[in-house]
Amino acid sequence: MATLTNGQVDAVVHGGAASTNGLVNGISHTHSPASCATIPMKDHDAIKLFIGQIPRNLDEKDLRPLFEEFGKIYELTVLKDRFTGMHKGCAFLTYCARESALKAQTALHEQKTLPGMNRPIQVKPADSESRGDRKLFVGMLNKQQCEDDVRRLFESFGSIEECTILRGPDGNSKGCAFVKYSTHAEAQAAISTLHGSQTMPGASSSLVVKFADTDKERTIRRMQQMAGQMGIFNPMALQFGAYGAYAQVQQQAALMASVGQGGYLSPMAAFAAAQMQHMATINGLPGAPMTPTSGGSTPPGITAPTVTSIPSPISVNGFTGLPPPQANGQPPAEAMFTNGIHPYPAQSPTAADPLQQAYAGVQQYAAAFPAAYGQISQAFPQPPPIIPQQQREGPEGCNLFIYHLPQEFGDGELMQMFLPFGNVISSKVFVDRATNQSKCFGFVSFDNPGSAQAAIQSMNGFQIGMKRLKVQLKRPKDANRPY
């Protein structure tokens, strides 16, 4: 077998994989073993196995004999690193027959150790097989609903193995839950019938019923949240922020205008141009920082601390720089910077590869940061703690309702627009869930009422394009309740 070239083996393996599309399930039993070899067919309930603890010098052709003992192989693929092509020491294996997979698992899993390995071989259903495809995430529940209420709602679709309400540290429901059925079909039935079917009292939109995140998705979500928390430290925000320089705004406006086609001025460019005029008017000096009139977030009498060492410009705030591409093929940086938080979205038009863009973005971010660090350290004597995302409502009198936003404005643009008036702890543009379109209104929360008032004074009636912003204090949630 050592005489086979890689090319030959790859061709065989790839041929098997490529022929899976369009095959009709359930006819494999009528196939003779001979034809299975040329046109592999698998059971409709075949199990994809994960094989772990494989020596890196063994490829598909070396592994086949080991596994063929238990049945005809439908597909065998050694996992290789996406970037380096390096053998990752594991593989996916699908037998034509489900029974073969079960036999192989029983005979091999943790039963023997391949030469050169410290731990026994792993043979078990792949994550994709056992993934949370029976487990549902349920959102938009009433926070008063308990496990039994949720069970009652879901029990008619199948047998529920597990039902958990997600609760905060205080024991209060977060308004969502996990429901695990015994089969995928039951879970799917519940989604089809219940998702969006009703709106619970006190919930802001209709019931959400979907498959729960896999571990992988959870990891990505966490990183995205982390990136979101860094929002105020991204240079885009700083350019428009309380400490942003006029020249930078000018540059940004020119850049954005140049991106527009056929005379169309992007909303941000239009806004930037308008803001420059506006700020010139209220500050008198265009070059002066756009510091709010209300004292902002810099505590009086606090001077910048003596910074003895800044190990890395971007190590403040707990983010220690760009991790290397991960062996699992999911570079963290990619996830972070494809979350609408591109530091310089329009400056690398030639970088086609998203990863390359991410690297470029981080480099520019790092380059921009030392200047920013000095500013931030004045406002925060200590590196700022990571603020939990749940705590988003500002104190009484700090929350604004903004109407007549440009259609294209998202949370980021909204935040940038209000940063000049103080510390924005949250910005949210209301989006229609069905169409994903902005409803042209949103909310901004400051950490103090003075900033909110300053924002109202300056921004209420502010013209953007054909529209004028309406900026006022948000109505308290229970304002319409009689008692």
Contacts with DNA, residue ranges (CB under 7 A): 132, 135, 137, 139-140, 162, 164, 166, 174-176, 178, 180, 203-206, 208, 210, 212-213, 218, 221, 225, 389-390, 392-394, 399, 401, 425-428, 430, 433, 441, 443-445, 472, 474-475, 477
Q: Output the smallest distance, CB 452 to DNA, in A.
A: 10
Residue 31 vs 428, nearer CB to DNA:
428
**Considering the complex, what minimum distance in angstroms separates the CB of residue 241 from DNA?**
19
**Nearer Cβ to DNA, position 155 or 161?**
161
Q: Which is nearer to DNA, 104 or 163 (CB)?
A: 163
φ/ψ of 63, rounded to 5, equals -85, -30
Q: Report whether 48 contacts 92 (CB < 8 A).
A: yes
Q: What residues have CB less than 8 Å from 437, skipping those under 6 apart?
A: 407, 431
- Between 72 and 404, whose beta carbon lies closer to DNA? 404
User: Which is nearer to DNA, 318 or 321 (by Cβ)?
Assistant: 318
Closest separation in Å from C-beta 218 to DNA:
5
The encoded tokens of residue 430 equal 């209301």
The span from the CA of 241 to the CA of 282, in Å, is: 16
Closer residue to DNA in complex, CB, 16/442: 442
Whichever of 103 and 470 has its CB closer to DNA, that residue is 470
Contact status, residue 174 vs residue 167, Cβ threshold 8 Å: yes
Q: How far is the CB of 404 from DNA (least distance, A)?
A: 12
Q: Quote the radius of gyration of the chain (alpha carbons, Å).
A: 28
Tokens of 13: 């393996």
The residue with tokens 């941000």 is 268
In 3D space, the residue among 110, 135, 106, 130 whose CA is nearest the CA of residue 121 turns out to be: 110
Distance separating alpha carbons of residues 298 and 456, to the nearest angstrom: 20
List, edge to edge, every strand of the sheet that includes 73-80.
Answer: 73-80, 87-95, 48-52, 122-125
Is the Cβ of residue 40 or residue 132 nearer to DNA in the bound state?
132
Contacts of 96 (CB under 8 A, 6+ apart): 28, 36, 40, 41, 42, 43, 46, 71, 72, 73, 74
Minimum Å distance from CB 123 to DNA? Answer: 25
Q: How far is the CB of 472 from DNA (least distance, A)?
A: 6
Counting Cβ atoms within 10 Å, is residue 38 exposed (0-12), middle (13-18) or buried (19+)? exposed
C-beta of residue 415 within 8 angstroms of C-beta of residue 237 = yes
User: Minimum Å distance from CB 187 to DNA?
Assistant: 12
Q: Are 114 and 131 in contact (CB under 8 A)?
A: no
Least spacing, CB of residue 431 vs DNA, in Å = 8
If the CB atoms of residues 108 and 220 are measured against DNA, the closer one turns out to be 220
Of 228, 240, 421, 243, the C-alpha closest to 317 is: 228
Q: The tokens of 221 are what?
A: 């979500």
d(CA 331, CA 471) in angstroms, rounded, equals 40
Q: Which residues contact 94 (CB under 8 A, 6 or more apart)?
A: 42, 46, 47, 48, 49, 73, 74, 75, 76, 101
Output the smallest distance, CB 444 to DNA, in A: 7
Shortest Å distance, C-beta 399 to DNA: 4
Q: Please, what is the minimum distance in Å from the beta carbon of residue 388 to DNA?
A: 10
